[in-house]
Amino acid sequence: MAASGLLIGLFALAAMQDAPPAENPYPAREVLSAFATACSGIENMAVAKASVLAAGWQPVPADDTGALMALVAFGKAKLAESDPDMQLIEGGEYRMTVAGRELGVVLSGVDLEKIRSQGCRVYDFTAASAISPEDLEGWAARKPNDTQTPEGGIIKHVWNPGLKPGHMEMEISFVPQGALAAANIPLSGLVFTATAMEFLKP
Per residue in 75-96, pLDDT (tens digit) is 988 888 877 777 888 899 999 9
Strand-pair category, 101-112 with 87-98: antiparallel
Q: Is residue 74 one of the residues assigned to a domain?
A: yes
Q: Is residue 6 one of the residues assigned to a domain?
A: no
CA distance 35 to 87: 26
Q: Is residue 84 one of the residues assigned to a domain?
A: yes
pLDDT for the residue 202? 67
Instruction: Give the number of other Cβ atoms within 10 Å of residue 174's Cβ.
Output: 20
Task: Give me the domain span that covers residue 94.
Answer: 26-199
Q: Is residue 2 one of the residues assigned to a domain?
A: no
Q: Is residue 19 one of the residues assigned to a domain?
A: no
Q: Is residue 11 one of the residues assigned to a domain?
A: no
Instruction: Give the number of other Cβ atoms within 10 Å of residue 8's Cβ.
Output: 10
Q: Is residue 154 one of the residues assigned to a domain?
A: yes
Read off the pLDDT of residues 178-202 as tens digits, 9 standing for 90 and up. Answer: 999 888 999 999 999 999 988 877 6
Q: How many domains does the chain have?
A: 1
Whole-prediction pTM: 0.86
Section 39-58 average pLDDT: 93
Q: Is residue 104 one of the residues assigned to a domain?
A: yes
